[in-house]
Structure 1
Amino acid sequence: MRKRAFILMAVIAGMAGATALSAQITTQFRAERARLEAAFNLKGQTEGEVLRNRMINPFANPGIRIQKVLPGSALTVAVRGNFPAGTAILSERDGVTLSGASLSTTTYSAHVTIPPDEAPGFVRLWAFNPIGIEGPTAVALVDTFYRFDLKSPNGYTVKIVPIEKTFTMEDNKRAHVKYQAEFYKPGESRPFETVTGNQEFSVADTPLESHTPYARLEISFDQSTTSPQAELEEINEKLSNPKTTEAQRNALMARMGALQTKMLEEMTKALKTDPASLNKTQDDFGCG
């Protein structure tokens, strides 16, 4: 736990300067959303109708196929939904601009421009109609990455880089990409530990008070590159590859069984080990 705490604290410390940015990237959206919600015409609606409308999304489900885009690029989107007269459609990201918009009672299209410094994650549009129905739809994924060189007060450094070239999309609802973090002791040029983890986004994540989901700089580093778990992940990827031969599959399954046995033995040994010795690896991270 102390090892993972160090990783989390290091990332948070390195991103402290980005917090102010995260708090600003939806300032306009949040202000306009509040204005539109204050103008909702709820007269004549029962409490049940108001609550029901809050559960409805104006956009059609399923939405359009989400496109991957790079910072500084643009795309044209066309979505369907229920857009009565008076409906307003906004970009959740303040930096993303909508132009050439065309709105009917059932369709909306616009030219979407992505700024050159835009952060990774989904680009979502929000629709607000006058009777209190509102909701988002994702139209694009900004396919870019973070890179960090972090340093803790005690001189330890962490280098964080992506190790995949693009986000992997799942079911048009989620996206993830793998990162690697290398840990260096003060004055050393070789990392004493290398771990991997994922950054993940979901189209269903709702905006928080200070920022949108895509601005949450969260990468979960929970696996050493030399651990049995890392090798098991590689084996599973190879087993899911249709090009893997039967002989290769048999060898992979045998290796998987050996790794699982090793993991069980290590867990059993850890339960019998002096707790003080279990802290050695954690202390290597400067957390002792």
Structure 2
Amino acid sequence: MTQHFARGLAQLCLVAALLLSPVVHAQDASPYALPSSQAADYAAILNQRADQVTLFDYGPRALIRIIDFPNLQEQGRMFNRVVALVERIGAPRSRVLNNDELAQFIRSVGKSDATFAYGNDFLVSELVVFFNLADMGGIRLNAEEIALRKMLIESRWMVERNGFFQALKPQAVILSIPQASDRTSPPVSVQARTTILMHEISHAEYYTNPLYANYCRHFWRNVLNDGQRNAFRKFLSGSSYNPDNEEMMINETQAYLLYTPDPRAFNARLVGMKDKDIESLRARFFAGFPDAPLAEMRR
């Protein structure tokens, strides 16, 4: 879902753990593979229609790669285990869940393999933690997870040294989105795809643009009042985000407040505010940082 890897304690736990003994990961043979990446801007990615997974390098910002999946199920197979490790309250931070544990955890929060996360955003540093912890725990990765690992290595964003994975581009960002389709379960509308892409790109901007991230922190601490911050904490904790993770709260608040136009995903009522209050906060945000990402969507 680093500047924000107060997201979890996995990296801190890993510092000591990696010094113990190397674990050789299983090089499972897999027919699943990610294609070569192609450069594209926001409009090109949004309007892409494909029945197969597509890989984009996001043109306006270096080191942002977007995986465009044909359906939510395929996206979930690649990222659900990472989502549990990095983002969700109640899942362990020092180890990776096996298949049975993951399925049980997803059920426990009222989600399915397809709906555990509608879009994803992870720094390479977080994915390195995931793959190292999976090796250390003897977790057998699925075909999609293996393909992600292979892509990171072939891109030279991650390398294996002395039996452990290390990030060569720790601040690089991997995003994922699903194709719009009414033939999938659940269906994904064009509006939902637009919202997911906007939301995830805003996270990538937060990770890769220090000026933007610092302004978001200022907005959270100095523009929002205690009641508004608590309202967003409550809203986000309802989706199993850790409300004590301040950096995550800041990052998710900017993404929901500013870049989640589908009212089914975010609206004033969901966060316990009035429409006029939300509109006022948006206006104050953009007045203070007019060069925020995706300005074309606000015209």
Give the TM-score band, short-chain normalised: under 0.3
**Quick check: which one's strand share is greater?**
1
TM-score, normalised relative to structure 2: 0.26
Choose 1 or 2 for highest CA Rg.
1
**Quick check: which one's helix share is greater?**
2
Higher relative contact order (CA 8 A, sep 6+): 2
